Amino acid sequence: MPELPEVEVSRMGITPHVLNQVVTKVNIHNGSMRWPVPDDVYQLTGLTVTGVERRAKYLLLHCELGSTILHLGMSGNLRVVSANEPLKKHDHIEFIFANGKALRLNDPRRFGCCLWQAPGSVHKLLAKLGPEPLTDEFFAKQVYQQSRNKKVPVKQFIMNNAIVVGVGNIYANESLFKAGIDPRREAGKVSLKSFEAFIPIIKDTLAAAITQGGTTLKDFAQSDGKPGYFAQQLLVYGRKGQPCLVCKSELQEVRLGQRSTVFCGKCQK
C-alpha cells in the first residue's frame, strides 16, 4: 500500500503538470471505487486547479468551487500522460487539461477513491485526522500525554491517524527500531524521554524517504508514468529471520493489529 512518502512524491510529481491548468474534461470510466464517485467531481470541468495538497494519504485538487479528493487505496497510482495516449486497463478516472496532459487514476483493486469537498467545508474522511508528522503540531510532549493509560502496543498507537497521520507500517517498524523501542510495549509505558527520541526519528525517517523518492521525479511523466516509487535500505521491515544490522541477532516477527511487525529482541526494549 502506498504510504505517506509515496503519496507526497505523487503530489510533487503531478503538481508541475496540473497546477494553474484548466481542466477541459473529466472522464469517469468506472465510478465504482471504494465509494461511488459523486457527480460533483464533474464540477472541476472548465476550472483552474489552484492548488495541489496532501492531507495524510489523500491528495486534494483545489479549485474555486471545491476540491477533488483522491486516494490511491492499496494498489492505485497516478500517471501524467498525453491526453491522446490510449487508456490502460484499470484507468478509472481521468482529468484532461488544456496543456494536452491527462491525469489518470489507475486502481486494479478499486480500493482508492475520488470524492468531492465543497468550499469552506472539511470532508468527513478528513475531519478527525491528527496532525501531519512533518509539522510542529506533532511533538513529543503531546504524544506522551495522549499515550497515558493506553494499553495498546506503541506501534498501533503511533499508527492511529487520530494521533498522527501517515505513519504507516513500514515507517513505524523502521522508526521503532531506530529508537530502540519494542513495538509490543504498551504505549502508556513509554516514557517522555523515549518519545522525545522517537518523534524526531519518525520525522527524519519520513523526510528521508520523501527525499529518496523525489530523486525519481524526472521520470514521472515518462511512458510508465509511475510516481517515483523507490527502493530503500530497510533495517527491519520485511527482514524476518535475517540478522539485525546492529547486533546480528535474528530478527523476529509478530502480528500487531493484523500487520507484520519485525523487530530485534535485543536492540529494542
Cα–Cα distance for residue pair 143/156, rounded to 1 Å = 13
Known catalytic residue at 250: no
pLDDT, position 212? 80
For the 140-263 domain, the top CATH level (class) is: mainly alpha
Query: Which one of the listed residues 11, 57, 101, 155 is annotated catalytic?
Result: 57
Task: Spell out the domain ranges in the chain.
Answer: 4-123, 140-263
For residue 211, pLDDT beyond 90: no
Query: Which one of the listed residues 3, 132, 186, 253 is annotated catalytic?
Result: 3
Q: Within a 13 Å sphere around the CA of 205, how many CA atoms are in the beta-carbon half?
A: 26
Residue 150 is labelled as binding a ligand: yes
pTM of this structure:
0.89
For the 4-123 domain, the top CATH level (class) is: alpha beta
pLDDT grade for 228, boundaries at 50, 70 and 90 = very low
Known catalytic residue at 57: yes
Backbone angles phi, psi at 25, to 5 degrees: -160, 145
Query: Which one of the listed residues 25, 110, 240, 259 is annotated catalytic?
Result: 259
Known catalytic residue at 3: yes
For residue 63, pLDDT beyond 70: yes
Q: SS3 of 120, please? A: coil
Cα–Cα distance for residue pair 36/246, rounded to 1 Å = 48
- HEC-encoded secondary structure of 85-112: CCCCCCEEEEEEECCCEEEEEECCCCCC
Least confident of 7-11, 163-167, 174-178: 7-11
Cα–Cα distance for residue pair 61/64, rounded to 1 Å = 10
Asked if 41 and 32 touch (Cβ cutoff 8 Å), the reply is no
